[in-house]
Each structure stands twice: as structure tokens, then as C-alpha cells.
Structure 1
């Protein structure tokens, strides 16, 4: 009864159509999952969100997993659940959370993922987890990893995939603090010749592409906009939406709008996180990343970069940064230096990148 109600027939239809990678999807029975999660014990809860609760579990073979227990039993919502199974079965990328299977024999449907141990990116940005602090190098690396995963989804997957809810709360960090994109419940795959989806507007306030909000047409550039918000979070340490202090009525400020206004008024460095200011090899590299973020947040989707262009910009900053730091370290070990030509070259090359991005 539960299997049918939870979309089992729809999933079987997808399996038979060849749209699902059968080798990647295991249908777990309810006993396996209850045992793995200690009957969904409260002390196994990893997190809770709009779509459900995630539990930590251990399978009979010793593998640690994350079990997502959906909130809904409404039939109209089940297509989103089955959609996530279908989408994730098609994805094979080191920076995307891997699905292991699902269980449809329980009152609400369950998804089983690989376990990612170190929480969400938003928790680190906002200082909720203090055991590991986000250095500027790590922030750049995480941004590059997320950009790489999105570029893969948009262009390298078997069908182009739009995530549709990119935000720091949906980016997990693994045991080596590498980024893993999660939560594909609202994602959609499209045929190669399609350029957009026309859908009911869905997303997170503060991260949602305003062009999509106006037109209901979601394109790959809508994901680019949301990535731009994440990049600004990494630069500033601020939330995508924050309450405005001192206002008589309850008001909220969009980080994207605040960031763009600050850049227009030459106030970027008043907004940048103190750790970024301290660890950046030069103000120029901060400016390059900020310009890249501003391009991602362009109100006109056509003028935003592709994720492949974003990767190129971020990698240019990282390469130039390594070269500049290496030159600085070498000069510290030498008694005399006629000029700082290597370091100057890097700053100049970064300035050229800044002009491009």
C-alpha cells in the first residue's frame, strides 16, 4: 500500500523507461532503514528543512548513510521525490552528493544518500561551527568546486540539469572539507535543445534569480545568479537575507542588492569579511572575485557568465595568488632583491583578469 502511495509505480515506470541508472538505485525495505536509524531516533537527526528531516544511519554492511525522511504524503508532491531519485541517478561528479537508493515501504518516502560528515557551508560562513574556520584559500576552493559541479550539471551530464535551489545551506562539506551540492528535490533535467523551463516559481528568498521571479522561465543563468549569492556570502560572511536594525517595521535586506550598491559606491572593502581582508595577497584579487560575483548577479540573465567562465575566473585568481605568495616567501629568504618583478607581474596579470571579469 505504502509503496504504491509513495510513487512506487511512477518509479517503476521510470526504471523501465531507462531514465534511471538502475545500478545506482537500491530499493531498501523498511526494516533495513529502521534498523539503520535506530527507528528514526531523535539523536540521529542531522538536520531539518522544508522538505523533511535527515537522519544519520548505518547499514548492515557498516556503511554510514544519510536518510532523508520526507514531510509530505500528498500525492501532488510525490513527483518531486521521484524526480530527485531520477536526477541523482544520472549524476556522477565528486562535488555532488551521491544517492544510494530509496525506500517506499514506509508512511512517507525515504531517500538514502552517502553520508557527508561536516555540515553545511552556511554553518561555517555564519560561524555556527567553530572547529574549522574558512580561510580565504578554502573559500576560493569551495567556490571553484561548486562552480565545477554546476558546470557539469549544465553541460556535461547526460541531460542538462538545472538545480533550481543553489544556496549555502544546500552545499555540504565532506571529511576533507570539499564541497558537495545536495538537495535536488526541485531540480529539473531538460532536453539538449531546450533553453529554459517554464515553471511555478520555486526557490529561496535572497537566492532567487529576479528574472526568473518575473518571467517564471528558469535557465542555467538562474543557477548562475544563485551561485553569485553564495560567492558574495563567501566574500562577506553575511547571510543572503538579514533583518535591518533600527527600522520601526520589520524589514529585510537582500545581500545581493546590498553588495551591488556597496560596489557602486566604492564601499566593497567595508563589506568584505575581516579574515578575507587579512589573508588576501592583494586587494586586487578580492576585487577580481567581487567583480565576478557582480557579473553573476546581473539583472539581465544573458549578461551573466556561464559557469565555465566562472571557473576560469576563480582558477585565475588561485593561480596568481599562489605565484604571488611564492614570490613573497622567496623574497623573505633572500638578503637583497633588486626588484619585486614577479610579485608585480602577478598583480598586473590579476588586474587584467579583473578587467575581464
Structure 2
């Protein structure tokens, strides 16, 4: 193998360097029948190793300059983080122009494949949804406060949450993750992530802090409760933007009306608490959003008094601009479908960080600087 020597600081003994030949054999020469998904940085394939273990192989496009940055960033970050709610990196391969990442294989694919499917979301009863919410929160807390490195994911969304055989959540796709200085509360950086899950201070000004992931988590939490995407133009006009709809229901004392009717066994007390916490996470003012340790405390304890949330980001006071969302892709294994989009109108708020095209909900920004 040529062109790569894993650094001990990044690759522990539990991680392996795979040969290209081994991955070719495992995926039947990257046969289309084994393809799990296709994204902007390449495809992901199911494979079976020589000792019978199932793996997922992320094969990055050799043509993508950003793909190399994504690859090295993901290797360095994910190899250093180990948590039950994070997808485990098994190893990597670099030979010639080939760059590959090897992960555990999850037959249930990702949260969006359940949550946004008319039939499959029936499998997510309230207990499963609540456990998924708590698991995601714990994974983010680990990244922010408990790992050796302080990491901001920057792309928390339903299709980056994998589900194991027991439907336990695993945060995946660290290609846009960023190491964050311990002595800083925020930094200014180029924007990278997915519109619809970005708070205003980041989408508009590039101001990055742990509160960016908190906001994204709040959106995903509301998606889990409601069983719907954060933007859906197929719904009645006043329901199209999830955060805005949730806020209006909460203000009117009807928050439970947003709970997914397909979720059996809903605990009204827990559901109301989750909706309340979700709205605290998506507040327009980043300083008002809780940190993840407080989020978990508020979600887990009925004795904790919750503060009243202030107005969420991107809730319009007048006419709102509806944006047509892109369809969800096959599965999260190939969902790094990043597109260059740097100017957007988001539910009535306009970003003007740099010239570009107008984005839509599921488009991700790929102007990623060196870490």
C-alpha cells in the first residue's frame, strides 16, 4: 500500500488499515447490487470480510478535491472518538487515487428511512423515539464535553443518524466535523452543513459554537416527535415549516397536536417536555439555547422546571418564503450529497454570506476550510 501511514495519535490499535484488494473482494468489486447509497463525495457499499463480518465501505470519489479533506478529517476525528452513540470507524484505505472508509454495517440504515416513510415510522413507538432522542443527545454531549477532543459535528440531521439492530442511534458522517478550541466560546469560519438545520448566527455570519449542534439537535428532536421533515411543501401552508408550526402550537397551548399519530404509546408528559426542550434548542438567540448536558437533564427529569422558550430562529413575522425541499436520498450511507450553496432565503430570513445560488432545505454547503 502506498501514500498513507496511519499516525499513532490518530489511529489506535483497534483500528485497521485495509488493503484495497480486501475491500474489492468484500464488496464483490464494488458491485452495484451492494450499493447502499450514492452521495456527492462517492458511494457506500455493503461488504463481507473474509472472516464473515458485515461492513459498510465508503468509497470517496477520486475526482473530488474536497473529498480528500473530508476523508482525512473523518479519519482523524472518528478514530479518536468512541461512544455507544457514535458510528464506529473500523479502518481506512488509501491506495493510489482510492480513498475508502470502513464502518460497522447497520441493516436498519438511518433514522430518516424510518421516520419519513409512511409504513416504517409505525415501527417507531414512543419508547423507541424517546430512546433515540436521548441517545442522540448523549452522543453530541460526548463530542462537546467528554471526548479527548472538543468536536462540533456541524451536520446533525436525521439521515446522519444510523440505527443498529435494536434501533439505538449512532451519529455518523464526521466529514464536516470541526475541532474546537477549549478556550473559545465561538469562532468565525466558513459555513458547512445543511440548511434547515443551521441556526442564524452560523448560516448568516459563520459564527460557530457548540450551540450550532444544539440547534440542529432541536430540529431533529421535533422531526422525531412529529414524524415529518423540517420543511415539507406538500403540507398546508401554515404547517410547511416544522419549527414555525411547533412554535405556533406551543404558543396556543396545543403542542401535542404535532405528535405523530403513527407513534403508539405516547406519553403526553414526556412528549410535551421533549417539544418544550426542542423549542429551547432552536431559539434564535444562541445564548438562550441550553448546552447538551442541560438538555439531557431537562429531558430525563420531570422535576426540572423548564424555562419559557423565546422565539425560534427563522419564524417569520409576516410572509414567509417557502422553499422546495430536495427528496431524501436512499440512505445515510451515501447521504453526503453536499452542494455548493452559499446564499439562501430561509423561511423569511435571507443569508448573504457570499455570492452564490439560492439553496433549498436539504442542500449542504461544502466550502470547507482546512482544519
Category of TM-score, reference length = shorter chain = 0.7 to 0.9
- Residues 274 and 263 (structure 1), Cα distance of their counterparts in 2 relative to 1, 3 Å cut: same
Match of 1:167 in 2: 157
In 2, Cα distance between the equivalents of 1:232 and 1:131?
15
In 2, Cα distance between the equivalents of 1:147 and 1:129?
26
Unaligned runs of 5+ in 2: 310-371
Q: Is this contact kept in 2: 1:136–1:275, CA < 8 A?
A: no
Give the 3-state SS of the residue equivalent to 1:56 in structure 2: strand
In 2, Cα distance between the equivalents of 1:310 and 1:131?
25
Match of 2:298 in 1: 313
Q: Is this contact kept in 2: 1:165–1:186, CA < 8 A?
A: yes
More helix by share: 1
1:80 paired to 2:70 = yes
1:111-137 deviation line (CA, Å, top 9, x unaligned) = 001112211111111126639710111
Residue 266 of structure 1 and its aligned partner are, at CA, apart by 3.2
Q: Is this contact kept in 1: 2:125–2:266, CA < 8 A?
A: no
1:312-346 deviation line (CA, Å, top 9, x unaligned) = 122225xxxxxxxxxxxxxxxxxxxxxxxxxxxxx
1:270 paired to 2:254 = no
Residue 194 of structure 1 and its aligned partner are, at CA, apart by 2.8
Match of 2:278 in 1: 293
In 1, Cα distance between the equivalents of 2:201 and 2:117?
31
Unaligned runs of 5+ in 1: 318-348
1:213 paired to 2:203 = yes
Q: Is this contact kept in 1: 2:114–2:121, CA < 8 A?
A: no
Using the size of structure 1 for normalisation, the TM-score is: 0.80
Q: Between the two structures, name the one with larger relative contact order (CA 8 Å, sep ≥ 6).
A: 2
Higher gyration radius (CA): 1
- Residues 245 and 136 (structure 1), Cα distance of their counterparts in 2 relative to 1, 3 Å cut: closer
Q: Write the mapping of 1:95-244 to structure 2, written as runs, cut at 5 A.
A: 95-105=85-95, 107-127=97-117, 130=120, 133-244=123-234
In 1, Cα distance between the equivalents of 2:82 and 2:71?
19
In 2, Cα distance between the equivalents of 1:3 and 1:262?
58
Using the size of structure 2 for normalisation, the TM-score is: 0.77
1:122-156 deviation line (CA, Å, top 9, x unaligned) = 11111266397101111111110110011010001
